Structure 1
Amino acid sequence: MPVTSLSPKTIAPGLFTGKERLLLRNARTPASLLGAGVPGGAACDRDGAALIDIVVHGQTVAAVLPAGHGEAECVVDLADRHVWPLLVDAHTHLDKGHVIGRAPDSGGTHPGARDATTSDRIAHWRRDDLLHRMEFALNCADAHGVAAIRSHLDSHEGQAETTWAAFSETRERWAALIALQAVALVPLDAYRGDYGRKLADLVAAQGGLLGGVTRASGGAHGKALEDIDALLDALFLLAKERDLDVDLHVDEAARADALPSVAAATIRHGWEGRVTCGHCCSLALIPDDEAARVIELVASAGISIITLPTVNMYLQDRADGVTPRWRGVTPVKELRAAGVRVAVAGDNCRDPFYAYGDHDMLDTWRQAVRIAHLDHPFADAAAMAGAVPAAIMGVQAGVIAAGRPADLMILEAWSLDQVIARPHSDRLVIRAGTASSACLPSYASLETIAGR
């Protein structure tokens, strides 16, 4: 068999055509990113990454075998490089993104971000503006190797129809590359009146998820909604009538206590396993015994938790002239130890809620490891950007397994500490067996957006 030898800095993208039978010999992949587990006889390194052969037949992974056991006419020896599946971002905001420099300055605070976003939405969020910014975001995600995205969409009365229509256009255009889902995002008190039913009908027609944020309109997390149980009942009844999953922004503050109410409502309505909660920041600051009780309730409700470490570190505990004293992220390790499904996601990108980011889930995961101490050992931390968010979204992505699309990224890294140490701008992204030629879009392309 002819063998293509790779120099330490060279991978030949021309070999990946999506047509041939190809053996990727001596790949190194975290065990938690292998859909069928580590193949029998494969060695694992101290980081929990298996040494494997990946057989690609056209657009599909045909087999995952112990290193040295695969066969094909064309062999690419990866020399123990890390090979990952394309990753999954299960919580972002495609409608808000890339308005830095146009929206009013937020001051980096949550109330400031809310007000700045409202001003920008009223002034600019029309079809062409939304399409342009969503397209920019997805071009970034494509170049970075993202396989699926769930986006929360601001769905205020008078805006929802425009935003959901733009998202629908975008989802159809990108269907062959990135699986897209959407969640309705409104303050929870929007479900008090008739608009809640109208919104639920719109979401059902679009195949989305029903959602919201556990605060009042114009308010902040931490200020209790006196009728939160009634509002949650209204939301869950609308979801059940339409068979919709639920995804909520919860307790995005140092002091807030909506999560137990959400868990109780989930159980009360029999919606276990169909609810996702993002943020849950305040859970990190309550006494340990109280946190344990809440986590047990969350586990009983089958709620999935998504932590957004980069954005929560940016927003939480910010005050003029004061260095932040806490990280702003939910207690990931304690939740996972209790059997709660926890994913990491990117959240906002270059908007008033987070001034940075590039829709790069590998970078988000790398930062999450450092922020939440998901190392020493790494164990199955990689799953939080692959298999876990894919399961939350219900999409076939985030793992390497026989029968799955050959959606891969090859990194110039031979250990997980090397994966974390560098940004990997030289990664080779492979979609359906074909080397991607996608490049990051120029920021200059944003200058045509209204208001620049």
Structure 2
Amino acid sequence: MREVLSVPIRGTACLSRARVPAVLLPQAVAGSDPSALVLVDIEIEAGTILSITPSGSRPPVCGDYSYDLDEGLVLPTLVDMHTHLDKGHISPRRPNPDGTFMGALTAVGADRTANWTAEDVRARMEFSLRCAFAHGTSLIRTHLDSLPPQESISWPVFEDVRADWRERIELQAACLFGIDRLDADDGFLTAIADRVAAARGVLGAVTYMIPRLDEHLDAMMVAASDRGLDLDFHADETGDCNARTLHHIAEAAIRNGFEGRIVVGHCCSLARQQPEEIDRTLDLVARAGLGIVSLPMCNMYLQDRQAGRTPRWRGVTLLHEMKARGIAVAVSSDNTRDPFYAYGDLDLVEVYTQATRILQLDHPVGDWIRTVSTTPAELLGRPEQGCLREGAPANLMLFRARNWSELLARPSGPRTIIRSGRSIDRTLPDYRELDAVLAARPKALAKALAKAVAGVA
């Protein structure tokens, strides 16, 4: 990967003539137009942002290094709020046979049963995190498949990985199971909620239009409230216009007076419904204070796929209409090289670029950069992330691109990532490192895992 700076930053520096989105800056520097790109000087000292001032307004305090960014864009490191690190990179081992949603469910289920040992899950998680770190992500929430016995494997692995990565990427996890699992009154919800609470996680599920949906949503709200947990649902990931579980989630949140944060992902079927139904649902979502995350690359890949037929719709939800109502909206990576999405690299610049194209987040670009920065940070309870402010860690992304047109036209262009005031090595892990993992050879897998861990120590 090419870098913006020819000389690495090592702790103390002045970055002059940087273009920064006003919406990511303190009001005193941002000015009155939230969609503007503001020319500023950024001073870094001892790993933190010492000052952000209008460019050229005063001599720099830090004198060790000075870099003229020539009006290149600067962003904070970004926030990926909906991923599946436990599924990542299994496509070469277990491809989706036909690219459909059901094909993905079947392939993942078979691979999980056959291969998801602690060593396998950890090795693939480590590989994914190394990619995300190199691309400039500093906060990730992953969903973890949590039907027994997988929860006893994946949650301890996640807790270990979270501890190992705490200085590089902050990690959160939400449990994932089909809500119809609660039809069996066998104590599962209590057990998984306790497991999640012990790991300081988030309670989550995939919702379907089943007879006992409202009852199960109420039970999840109670379980989360009793333990002080937030909620994160997968909802309506289908083109079936009769799928309205987002509506039911919003009603349940209001009915239960739920006080924690609720995030709902996908919500694809909403775009297929009649305007009156859409309005009723969005009014409830706004009233309930739900946050919505769209997964544009994955859903464009999966939705409306039929062999030999060109898809008729984009598979994404109604972000423009939601944002106009004041609903918090974000976009995220979702799956990475697994049967639900065969591509991706946990690069949020790619995600934002593709979201702009798929969802038409342009003309004007406005403040849509919030969808991968401040909004997901707020929805994940970490509002100090995804923005630039004095006194915060100097976690920055520097680009040669000078404006949105240049960045969105060439998202793979030169980029330098600074973490705590220091430039990082952006070398991406080689896919060959996963060969032993995907071949599921235990001894080779242990050796590959040890190498992966050593490579990021």
| Alignment check: 8 A CA contact 1:277 1:306 kept | yes
Matched, 1:214 2:207: yes
Distance in 2 between residues matched to 1:388 and 1:24, nearest whole Å: 26
Distance change in 2, residues 1:180/1:411 (3 Å): same
TM-score, structure 2 length as denominator? 0.91
Give the counterpart letter for 1:321 in structure 2.
G
Q: Shift in Å at residue 341 of structure 1?
A: 0.2
User: What residue is the counterpart of 1:195 in the other structure?
Assistant: 188
Distance 1:361 1:350 in 2: 15
Matched residue SS, 1:151: strand
SS in 1 for 2:29: coil
Greater shift in the superposed pair: 188-197 or 359-368: 188-197
Question: Do the aligned partners of 2:80 and 2:348 also contact (CA within 8 Å) in 1?
Answer: yes
Partner residue in 1 for 2:45: 57
Q: 1:5 — aligned with what?
A: none
Deviation at 1:394, TM superposition (A): 1.6
Aligned counterparts of 2:125 and 2:3: Cα–Cα separation in 1: 33
Partner Cα separation in structure 1 for residue 159 and residue 4 of structure 2 = 39
Map 1:387-426 → 2, pairs under 5 A: 387-395=374-382, 396-426=384-414
The CA deviation at 1:38 is 5.7
1:175 to 141, 161, 166: 166
In the TM superposition, residue 13 of structure 1 has moved relative to its aligned partner by 3.8
> Which of 276, 279, 299 is equivalent to 1:289?
276
Residue in structure 2 matched with residue 3 of structure 1 by the alignment: none
Distance 1:61 1:259, change over 3 A: same
| Unaligned stretches of 5+ residues in structure 1 | 1-7, 216-223
Aligned residues: 431
Find the residue that maps to 1:355 and give its secondary structure: coil
**2:287 alignment counterpart:** 300
Partner Cα separation in structure 1 for residue 250 and residue 328 of structure 2: 14
CA distance in 2, matches of 1:337, 1:450: 45
Deviation string for 1:268-292 (max 9, x for gaps)?
1212561000000011111122211
**CA 1:429–1:243: 2 relative to 1, 3 Å:** same
The reply on whether 1:37 has 2:27 as its aligned counterpart is yes
Contact 2:262 2:290 in 1 (8 A): yes
The residue type equivalent to 1:238 in the other structure is A
CA 191–69 in structure 1, closer or farther in 2 if over 3 Å, else same: farther
Q: Matches of 2:332 and 2:256 in 1, distance apart? A: 27
Alignment partners' CA distance in 1, 2:331 and 2:7: 29
How far apart are residue 50 of structure 1 and its match? Answer: 1.0
Match of 1:27 in 2: 18
Please name the residue that 1:66 is paired with.
Answer: 54
Q: Which amino acid aligns with 1:210?
A: L
Q: Does the 8 Å contact 2:139/2:169 carry over to 1?
A: yes
Take 1:200 and 1:130, find their aligned partners in 2: how far apart are those partners? Answer: 22
The alpha-carbon deviation at position 425 of structure 1 amounts to: 4.8
Partner of 1:220: none
- Answer yes or no: is 1:229 the counterpart of 2:214: yes
Q: How does 1:350-429 map to 2 (within 5 A)?
A: 350-395=337-382, 396-429=384-417
Q: CA deviation at 1:104?
A: 4.3
Distance 1:123 1:333 in 2: 42
2:139 to 148, 154, 168: 148
The whole-number CA distance in structure 2 between the counterparts of 1:205 and 1:386 is 28
**Is the deviation greater in 269-278 or in 332-341?**
269-278
- Aligned partners of 1:412 and 1:424 also within 8 Å: no
Instruction: Please give the secondary structure, in 2, of the residue aligned with 1:449.
Output: helix
> Which of 112, 122, 130 lines up with 1:121 in the alignment?
112
1:327 equivalent to 2:314? Answer yes
Structure 1 residue 11 corresponds to structure 2 residue 2: no
Contact 2:79 2:137 in 1 (8 A): yes
Alpha carbons 1:89, 1:389 under 8 Å: kept: yes
Query: Is contact 2:122–2:161 with CA below 8 Å preserved after alignment?
Result: yes
Shift of 1:10: 5.3
Gaps in structure 2 of 5+ consecutive residues: 441-457
3-state SS of 1:327 partner: coil
The letter for the 2-side match of 1:382 is I
Q: Mark the CA change 1:163 to 1:52 in structure 2 (over 3 Å): closer, same or farther.
A: same
**Contact kept in structure 2, 1:38 and 1:50, CA below 8 Å:** no
What is the distance in 2 between the residues matched to 1:313 and 1:272? 33
Distance 1:421 1:263 in 2: 38
After the TM superposition, which of the residue ranges 70-79 and 196-205 deviates more from structure 2?
70-79
User: Normalising by the residue count of structure 1, what TM-score does the alignment of the two structures yield?
Assistant: 0.92
Provide the C-alpha distance between the structure 2 equivalents of 1:59 and 1:9, rounded to a whole number of angstroms: 20
Pair 233,10 (structure 1): closer, same or farther in 2 beyond 3 Å: closer
For residue 439 of structure 2, give the secondary structure of its aligned residue in structure 1. Answer: coil
Match of 2:237 in 1: 252
Query: Would the aligned equivalents of 1:93 and 1:152 in 2 still touch at CA under 8 Å?
Result: yes
